[in-house]
Structure 1
Amino acid sequence: MKDFMFVFRGPTPEDLKMSPEESQASMEKWFGWINQLQQKGRYKGGDPLMPGGKTIQGKKPVVTDGPFAEGKELVGGYFILSAESLEEATELAMGFPDFEIQGSVEIREIMKIPMHP
């Protein structure tokens, strides 16, 4: 079994303009998906990320505001899951509730590096 990280991206909360009822319905879809992954023994953990943050980059590091991947697309959270293969991880990602609001999932296998004592 291999471990994979799902990185979730999507519109900013301001762009969504959801009503409280729509927000609640969205959360129920998320909880349902997490429950399905747990029942399959695949879900290992994950969390949403707070909006805001900093990015540091460059040979002479430059700090900029925002955790935005592209434009105003927000990196909103992550899961760690176990799967037999990238293909199975991809199939598990198909339950992502935010596809309907133009969200996306990046699926990456986690590299195992032996630690030195």
Structure 2
Amino acid sequence: MRFMMIVKASTHSEAGTMPREQFEQMMAAMKKYNDELRKAGVLVAVGGLHPSSNGIRISYPVPGGPPVVTDGPFTEVKELIGGYWFIDVKSREEAIEWAMRAPDPHGLGEGQIELRQVAE
């Protein structure tokens, strides 16, 4: 079963304002966690995303009409994605266990991870 662990963006990740010391600590914790996922053989992919100010949205406001392109930044930070892991595990429970072991993705007590099963 494949799952996507979606790291929600924060005001700090969108602004790029995390203090250097906290950033270094968070990156070290993430590296350790990613190494554990790799060693267990469950990591498929991992990545962080640039802030939404670099993003582009394609929307379809009219059925059958042309798509509309909107450049970022986007305002609803709590709805944005800041990064992700794809994991391949034996069960939903195992996916939850791995997600619970993840360090705070922002290192500032703002982290949030959404866990979604990939449709296969």
TM-score w.r.t. the length of structure 2 is 0.76
Q: Give the letter aligned to residue 23 of structure 1.
A: F
CA distance in 2: counterparts of 1:67 and 1:41, whole angstroms: 36
The amino acid of 2:58's aligned partner reads: I
Match of 2:77 among 56, 72, 78: 72
| Secondary structure in structure 1 of the residue aligned to 2:119 | coil
Which residues of structure 2 form unaligned runs of 5+? none
Q: Identify which of 76, 98, 111 aligns with 2:104.
A: 98
Deviations 1:75-113 (A, max 9, x none): 11111101111121011101222265322112122222x
RMSD: 2.3
Alpha carbons 1:8, 1:104 under 8 Å: kept: yes
8 Å Cα contact 1:48/1:77 also seen in 2: yes
Kindly report which structure 2 residues correspond to 1:11-90, keeping only aligned pairs within 5 A, or say none.
11-12=10-11, 13=13, 17-51=17-51, 52-57=54-59, 58-59=61-62, 60=65, 61-66=67-72, 68=74, 71-73=76-78, 74-90=80-96
Can you give the 5+ residue segments of structure 1 that lack an aligned partner in the other structure?
113-117
Which protein is richer in strand relative to its size? 1
DSSP-derived class of the 1:94 partner: helix
Distance 1:66 1:93 in 2: 29
* Distance (Å, rounded) in 2 between the aligned partners of 1:86 and 1:67: 34
How far 1:72 moved relative to its partner?
2.0
Matched, 1:109 2:108: no
Contact in 2 for aligned 1:11/1:72 (Cα 8 Å): yes
CA contact (8 A) 1:10 1:101 kept: no
Could you tell me how far apart the structure 1 residues matched to 2:88 and 2:101 are?
Answer: 15
Sequence identity (%): 34
Is the Cα contact below 8 Å between 1:45 and 1:79 reproduced in 2?
yes
- TM-score, length-scaled by structure 1: 0.77
Aligned residue pair count:
110
